[in-house]
Structure 1
Amino acid sequence: MTRWLRSYWAEEDIWFYFELDARGYPIRQIELEGPALDPIVAASQSEWRTAMQTGNGDEYHAVYGSVGEGGIHDWEGDGFDPEDLTAAEFETVWARARAACGARARTHTMPDV
């Protein structure tokens, strides 16, 4: 059973959003930073694996970040107090975060070396 949740980490002023598989491992992850909730991560585990297999891992990470390692059971405690979300709530944030990460990548091209 898929679960969607979010948790706020006050120390870094970041909201973490997760889509978890039945074992509690992240499928997709979003991170929103600061009072403006700026998207800094909007990563998919399956996309990350594909990017790594095709030699595009660095590019994927530069645009979308990465999904955390371990399962939900590894994060509980230490200020991790998740609250459940609906799939629709997660998808709304996901769409906004993906668009922002993609737009940021298009406007920050690497110079030729």
Structure 2
Amino acid sequence: MTTTWFRTYYEDEDLWLCFEADEESWAVRHMEIGGKDGRPRTAASLQEVLHLRDHADLAAMTRYEQRYGILADAPLDGWQDQPGATELTAEEFERLWGEARRVLGGGG
């Protein structure tokens, strides 16, 4: 099993998209961070989404999506060819994740 952490730049929105991807290139965690201000916009987790799907109601899922955004729902193959694509270390990703969750109000 290989986990990959990386970011790409989405110029149209001036956003860095940061991902933790599993061995099949599916997003496990996904963040969007503003380019100019560096402010986290989203920080969604597959584990949390699946837990809500299985144990909560639609209102809880809606609240989650409003706070943390929506997880990428397609394989992330070919990310290396995207603008500004850079592999991140696990430590870099965890630092960004912790900051994003703190800003968005959810702890680590």
Q: TM-score, normalised by structure 2?
A: 0.85
Q: What secondary structure is seen at the aligned counterpart in 2 of 1:98?
A: helix
Separation of aligned partners in 2, 1:74 and 1:46: 24
Aligned length: 102
Q: What CA distance in whole angstroms lies between the structure 2 residues aligned with 1:57 and 1:63?
A: 10
Larger Cα-atom Rg = 1
Q: Report the Cα distance in structure 2 between the residues aligned to 1:64 and 1:89, rounded to whole angstroms.
A: 19
Displacement after TM superposition at 1:74 (Å): 6.7
TM-score when scaled to structure 1? 0.82
Structure 2 residue aligned with 1:91: 94
Q: From the superposition, tell whether residues 91 and 40 of structure 1 become closer, same or farther in structure 2 (CA, over 3 Å).
A: same
Cα distance in 1, alignment partners of residues 79 and 94 from structure 2: 22
Give me the identity figure in percent.
Answer: 31
Aligned to 1:108: none
CA separation of 1:70/1:83 partners in 2, compared to 1, >3 Å: closer, same or farther?
Answer: same
Unpaired stretches in structure 1, ≥5 consecutive residues: 104-113
Gaps of 5+ in 2: none
| Cα separation, 1, equivalents of 2:80 and 2:95 | 25
Q: Which residue of 2 aligns with 1:106?
A: none
